[in-house]
Each structure stands twice: as C-alpha cells, then as structure tokens.
Amino acid sequence: MIFRDATPAVCIALILTGLAGCKLIKNASEGGDGEMVSGKSGGNMTALVDEIWDARVLPHMRDSATDLATLGPAIEADLDAAGEAHGYRPSSEGSPWNFAVSVKGEIVSAKTDTRAATADVDVNGDGEADAVLQLGPVIRGTTLRDVLPFIDFTSFTDQIEFAQLSRALNTKAYETALEGLPRESLVGQPVEALGAFTVRGKGDAILITPVEMKLVRQ
C-alpha cells in the first residue's frame, strides 16, 4: 500500500520493490496452450527443450495434427483457408503457415547417403510422393519452433537465442524419433509419423520434420 503522505520518490521505490519480487508471465492469446515459453539471457536451450518436450511439445503436436491425406488437398485448394482451419502462424506480417501433421503411407523413395537424409512418402496410394520426411541427422528449417503457439520471438533475448532454440528442437526430434530408425530397405515400407511443416506459398513441397516416426512392418 502507498500512503497519502509518502513522497513521489518513496512511492516509486515502493512500486519497484513490489515488482522486483514478481515474475511476469505472458499467456498465449489463443490455442489454449497456457504460459508462453521464454528464454533467459545465456540460457541453455537444450535444457529448455528437454523440459518442455514431453510436457508440452508432443501433447500439442498430437492434439493439433491433421492427417496429411486431408491437409494436402486443402492446402492445394486454398492455402489461407487451410491455414485458418488447421495451421498456425505468428502474428507478424508475412509469416508463413505452419502445420502439425500426421502421416500414414508408404515410402516410395529414400536418400540416405547424406547427413540430410530424407524419405518420400505416398499417402493416397497412387505411387507418387506426397511429402518428404526428414530423417537427419541434419534437420533443415525452423518448423518445429514455428508451429508451437506458446513460443514467440519476443519472449527470448535475441535472434541468436531464438535460433539456438530451433536447433535444440531439431536435435531432440532426431535423437528421440529418428536416430534409431533403420536406414536400409526403406522403400516399400509402410510408415506412420507425426510432425510439422511450413508452407510459404502455394506449390511449396511438403517437407516434414517428424517428432514421432515408426515403420509398420508387414
């Protein structure tokens, strides 16, 4: 409480003293994901990702994913309408749409002789690739960071820390979902995956970063 007889300087000191003991928490405005995740100056992004992966990242991906068999045609028909219905993008002008997606299909080709290994998957049975699954260990892009509505650039110290967060998320995805996958004889294998991809414009290839993936051997 600030008393009527206190001087302006005393009032300011009392206010600042009260604020010093408070932790301000920014809440997500939509999506029901609760508190925004924030970085700290010099923070350990690997430790942060370890903390939120099972508690927040995977539950959000599972709850918000749309089947690629539905999502692909919707994006082809109207990217913005598909984004409004199934995707997420930050409020900053010009941000691309990011989609959480579930995939069930068959691997029709694979490139595993590179550190940025990939597998092409057919989800509608026509024998043609509908999307590309990243297998790593090199994971390209920032889609895992950008698809999460509880992560926002303004909650982090700077662009360097924000980029470190993206790399930590990609590394976690590789270590938990992709590192143990067999790389031989992938073609013809049924596959199930949960992941995310980013679309900047109509006609973009669908490059999915999986957070869960398994071969469904027949």
Where residue 145 sits, what CATH number does that domain have? 2.40.50.420
Residue 2: what pLDDT? 39
Q: Are residues 74 and 85 in contact, defined by beta-carbon separation less than 8 angstroms? A: yes
Output the pTM of the full model: 0.82
pLDDT at 33: 57
Q: Which residue has the higher pLDDT, 26 or 130?
A: 130
Q: In this prediction, what percent of the chain has a pLDDT beyond 90?
A: 67
In this structure, of 53-57, 115-119, 155-159, 192-196, the range with the lowest mean pLDDT score is 155-159
* HSE-up (13 A, CA, CB side) for residue 152: 19
- The one-letter code for the residue type at 62 is R
Comparing 4 with 95, the larger pLDDT belongs to 95
Average pLDDT over residues 52-70: 97
pLDDT of residue 212: 98
CB atoms near residue 56 (< 10 Å): 17
Q: How far apart are CA 32 and CA 137, in angstroms?
A: 32
Domain with 103, as residue range(s), is: 8-215
In the chain, the largest separation of any two C-alpha atoms, in whole Å, equals 81
Specify whether the CB–CB gap between 135 and 181 falls below 8 A. yes
How many domains are contained in the chain?
1
How would you class 137 by CB atoms within 10 Å of its CB: exposed for 0-12, middle for 13-18, buried for 19 or more? middle
pLDDT above 70 as % of the chain = 81
Structure tokens at 186: 């992938």
Domain-located, residue 118: yes
Out of 29-43, 89-103, 124-138, least confident range: 29-43
pLDDT band at 96; cut points 50, 70, 90? very high
Task: State both tokens at 209.
Answer: 């970063």
Please state, in angstroms and rounded to a whole number, the distance separating the CA atoms of residues 186 and 102.
19
Question: Is 3 a member of any domain?
Answer: no
Does residue 2 lie in a domain region? Answer: no
Look at residue 66 and tell me if it is in a domain.
yes
Pairing of strands 190-199, 87-88: unpaired
pLDDT reported for residue 36: 79
pLDDT at 32: 47
User: Is there a domain that residue 201 lies in?
Assistant: yes
Sign of CA dihedral 180, 198, 140, 169: negative
Residue 175 counted as domain residue: yes
> How far, in Å, CA of 145 to CA of 16, rounded?
34
Q: Would residue 1 count as lying in a domain?
A: no
Give the Å distances, CA to CA, from 190 to 11, 89, 149, 216.
68, 31, 31, 5
Q: Is residue 42 part of a domain?
A: yes
Q: What is the mean pLDDT of residues 12-18?
A: 38
